[in-house]
Structure 1
């Protein structure tokens, strides 16, 4: 059996309640991951329905349509022979949870609910979801040929490695789940996020992810939402893969592409040798779901491992220019308008607005010239963008 593993994480521009468009972008990301040789694909938080559904999470139709999208994913030939990790709301025993659903070849392997909810500032997750606070797993009803599936804080054990899941806010906690998971032998950590753009926030995310793998080794995949999702916030992508404290794959922070997939190839022996100096600690063993599947392949000698590199950050001025400009483009598409009416008074406010709109136009033209596609996204075509100034 080989020891080199290729994994994929992605940033998707998902729209709240755009179930058909969200499905097409998820399928496209899985297809790209497979074509790059990945055996595990991770997506952003609540990617099936969109993160910014707000009080639509209270509606049973939101969960129903999420299950309908999941059913199409399970039946799609695109999702065969690759472990897929998708996010959606799940109702379990009349309680609503923010969950990851992990499946392989049409079978749900486990459902992992979020344990620490973001509930300050711009986030109100406690309004719509309950945190999972039970150590022992439960069994949740499923559909199709499966009657029940494992539900809870569980890790996935393949033939060659072990995979553990975190969801967004859990990475920011003082005692993150990856600490105990790593001490219990988990080698691959995943985190699906809906993290919005704040100046210099990318620095904190990158530092937290690299520190997570520096402390006890392992590979860490971070997937983040991108776009405005129909809300006032802008999610800036910036997905990444870290190995033993160093970045091996970096996603763009400001991009108009709806689908961006990162892959990294790692040698499991690098993780195991890195951990030889880490002393064992007493931890409560995690419940494991065993799956007869291997992330590595026999001809892995043909695939070179990904090399670490220094993360490139935008300057403060670039963040101010690019972030609001990307938000404007998404807002324009969602409103299905042909352009902006831009009054100019000559003051600082109107001048700054004009510069941001100009930045948006430059990014759109650059994206079109590079052949970017807006997968499953209704609204205006990039070629229809026009500005009316007064």
Structure 2
């Protein structure tokens, strides 16, 4: 019996509904796997059509086109002599299923539907599919005529089965199934399955990779076996970035790991495994007894072997050695994930570049530095000879240059595709913020414009006076709260309109052939969105936002890291600066401060966000939790004030999330209303709510017990 087997898994940068492009990438991965000697290839979830098709999964056209792409794989002889595990949706008995197509030499061996569907957070699979809620059940699937013609039969098995070869047995599980308590690999392993494939559409979230890999390692530490993990990589048309990291794990040990962030459209990971290690690992009698009691799987037989023969000693075929897990720090994840997402969005949207209103504050600074990071990653890919990146750079950035032009530095690339605009007010914008913006733009190479918007502001402000005779003033000039807010909003919204105007015209100003507009980038962080500390339709309104789901605290860590890693000393000034919107006049004794305006710190906002979304706590539950967590900082009454203040402003500003700019998803407490955080946007008056009354009752009870002395101001 042969013992050494070469297996392949991959990360593919698929794009929703890009059928021909997806097909080309699938074929390229198959050819590369074969070139490396692999006899089994596993690809990402729903790779034929792209994972993020959303409601397109309800359209019959999509299923037809998937079968047409499948036919092209089956009839391409260059895809023969390798066992293929390919992902696509299938309609069976009028129901839609998320499936794996297991094929060999132009014939389908098995259609394996997904048993458990992802249906929380960013995922709504049960909106489109139903689970194959019958473990180990197999029946017949009637093939489309075009497939039946090359299959030589009208039917193939569909269901929860495994594939048996002369030298091993392999079974497939899909994404969410790994995360369930009783994963399919448990019963498959007890049934003698030695190789597991897992095909995923798993998105990046800060600090998430550890969890995913620990689950894969645990799967084979307990069961033994070879585990092939495949994942999509890149932006396939939505807020999510799928972060690849294809890997091969044997008996809980990593032996091959791909990149988590990359501009490669196709990345194939191969490993040589010794199947006898799996058999030796499964020695325990208790495991053997459990295997006799486990449900039995139907085995689909094939004469195709994954090993090379009975006596397959080959001095060149050496089992892959164990390696340490490679994980990026959160600061690096921010530098890499949103940057790769931005590059995919830019090249696929056919836009001419990006524009960001650069205020001199840390949020727009972080957005600009992420774009600069993108340029650095692109330059690395060019040095590595990435042909696709080369072509994309010449199309996007080379329009200003002669044919065949390529940048020599990240700054040179940044200057062609990234535009920054400082929009100040003479009475409100400080010299420090203007200077920081200008020097940051110079250091990263962006095409920078500096201007004042006073004329536009006063023209809009005077419209009310001319029409009604009423003249509003800022509060520092004796104005009301309503007038103060209205005048701030004029500036904020003026900056949004100006940003879009410049985004449309700057390519023409610079003489870019063929015109083409810029994508406007937003720079509101997740904490400001959570609190509603932003003007609706201000600079937070943009085309896309790379930091919209990243906390202020993580952004500060990222900027501190980038200051050294990117050799940008100017970033130190952004870290030390007091966060301010600069929407009110500066006087000798008053400078606007974000945290003072909000009545809470950014660190506290992050805590509120995690307790609200991740811990699933309402006002009263959050108050009870923070009584313990903040007992050394605040009295019960001070905790109550902060909790009630947060929920009040969250409630009255929730409507802003219905129009929030689509943002890169990074934090588990993102308030994105569009899919991740489904909550009302019209709430009852919070200070009259039952939850707030219960908090007040508890505060009074605790104060009577002598627990009312605080250590800080509320």
Determine if contact 2:41/2:82 at 8 Å carries over to the other structure: yes
Whether 2:242 is the aligned partner of 1:235: answer yes
Between the aligned partners of 2:78 and 2:380, the Cα distance in structure 1 is 30
Determine if contact 2:220/2:226 at 8 Å carries over to the other structure: yes
Determine if contact 2:350/2:396 at 8 Å carries over to the other structure: no
Between the aligned partners of 1:283 and 1:380, the Cα distance in structure 2 is 58
Summarize the Cα distance change of 1:355–1:379 in structure 2 as closer, same or farther, 3 Å threshold: closer
Determine if contact 1:334/1:378 at 8 Å carries over to the other structure: no
Find the counterpart in structure 1 of residue 65 from structure 2.
Answer: 65
Q: Secondary structure at the match of 1:88?
A: strand
Determine if contact 2:7/2:271 at 8 Å carries over to the other structure: yes
Between the aligned partners of 2:220 and 2:270, the Cα distance in structure 1 is 17
Find the counterpart in structure 2 of residue 166 from structure 1.
Answer: 173
Summarize the Cα distance change of 1:382–1:210 in structure 2 as closer, same or farther, 3 Å threshold: farther
Find the counterpart in structure 2 of residue 93 from structure 1.
Answer: 93
Whether 2:151 is the aligned partner of 1:138: answer no
Whether 2:114 is the aligned partner of 1:114: answer yes
Between the aligned partners of 2:396 and 2:254, the Cα distance in structure 1 is 33
Aligned with residue 287 of structure 1, among 298, 313, 316: 298
- Identify the structure with bigger relative contact order (alpha carbons < 8 Å, sequence gap 6+): 1
Per-residue deviation, 1:338: 2.2
Q: Secondary structure at the match of 2:189?
A: helix
Q: CA RMSD in A?
A: 1.5
Aligned with residue 370 of structure 2, among 353, 356, 363: 356
Find the counterpart in structure 2 of residue 373 from structure 1.
Answer: 387
Q: Secondary structure at the match of 1:171?
A: helix
Between the aligned partners of 1:130 and 1:380, the Cα distance in structure 2 is 44
Per-residue deviation, 1:379: 9.7
Match runs of 1:1-390 below 5 Å? 1-135=1-135, 136-142=137-143, 143-144=148-149, 145-277=152-284, 279-280=287-288, 281=290, 282-298=293-309, 299-302=312-315, 303-374=317-388, 381=395, 384=398, 386-390=417-421
Q: Which has the larger radius of gyration?
A: 2
The structure whose residues are more often strand, as a share, is 1
**If the length of structure 1 is used for normalisation, what is the TM-score?**
0.97
Determine if contact 1:258/1:373 at 8 Å carries over to the other structure: no
Q: Secondary structure at the match of 1:374?
A: helix
Determine if contact 1:334/1:379 at 8 Å carries over to the other structure: no
Summarize the Cα distance change of 1:160–1:382 in structure 2 as closer, same or farther, 3 Å threshold: farther
Summarize the Cα distance change of 1:140–1:300 in structure 2 as closer, same or farther, 3 Å threshold: farther
Between the aligned partners of 1:352 and 1:13, the Cα distance in structure 2 is 26
Between the aligned partners of 2:198 and 2:5, the Cα distance in structure 1 is 18
**If the length of structure 2 is used for normalisation, what is the TM-score?**
0.53
Deviations 1:301-347 (A, max 9, x none): 33100001111111111011111111101111121112112221111
Per-residue deviation, 1:228: 1.1
The structure whose residues are more often helix, as a share, is 2
Per-residue deviation, 1:383: 5.2
Per-residue deviation, 1:268: 1.0
Between the aligned partners of 1:333 and 1:116, the Cα distance in structure 2 is 35
Per-residue deviation, 1:300: 4.0
Structure 2 segments unaligned to the other structure (5+ residues): 399-412, 422-714
Between the aligned partners of 1:17 and 1:116, the Cα distance in structure 2 is 24
Determine if contact 2:19/2:65 at 8 Å carries over to the other structure: yes
Structure 1 segments unaligned to the other structure (5+ residues): none
Between the aligned partners of 1:49 and 1:36, the Cα distance in structure 2 is 26
Deviations 1:123-146 (A, max 9, x none): 000000010012320110122222
Per-residue deviation, 1:51: 0.3
Deviations 1:58-90 (A, max 9, x none): 111100000000000001122110011110010
- Number of matched pairs: 389
Determine if contact 2:352/2:396 at 8 Å carries over to the other structure: no
